[in-house]
Amino acid sequence: MKSGRVLIAAVLFLVAGVWIVMAYCQGTVGASVSSTITESKLSVDITTTGLPMLIGVPLTLIGLLLLIIALIAAIVGQFQSPKPIVPPEIPPRRGIPFEE
């Protein structure tokens, strides 16, 4: 089972979905650094409304699903034995008649 094509599709769907959500979002990002680690925080507020949300979120979910399928296919592919390569039957050169 080859997982390369599924992985490429997963990346394309993820990039498209996240790009649509981020391109049309209205939000803020804030960071607060304190002297102690427990009081430091990062706040991300993303608000996307309308058609971009209806297109972007399903694309992202499809991309995540395809990524999981590609991961499972890659794991299964590691445990399968490779198929033997059978060379084609080529007659020896002595069996080929002269061309005149």
List Cα–Cα distances, 35 to 8, 20, 30, 31, 41, in angstroms: 44, 37, 17, 13, 12
DSSP tag of 31? E
Other C-beta atoms within 10 Å of 18: how many? Answer: 15
Q: Tell me, yes or no, if the pTM score tops 0.85.
A: no
Predicted pLDDT of residue 83: 80
For the cut 90, the answer to whether the pLDDT of residue 100 exceeds it is: no
Cα 3 to Cα 17, 67, 71, 73, distances in angstroms? 21, 9, 8, 6
Spatial separation of the C-alpha atoms in residues 64 and 69, rounded to whole Å: 9
The yes-or-no verdict on residue 64 having pLDDT over 80 is: yes
Helix spans in the chain (H):
4-23, 51-79
pLDDT for 85 beyond 70: yes
Q: What is the pLDDT of residues 1-27, one digit of tens each?
A: 577 889 999 999 999 999 999 999 898
Distances (CA, A) of 67 to 8, 25, 76: 9, 25, 14
End-to-end C-alpha distance for the chain, whole angstroms: 49
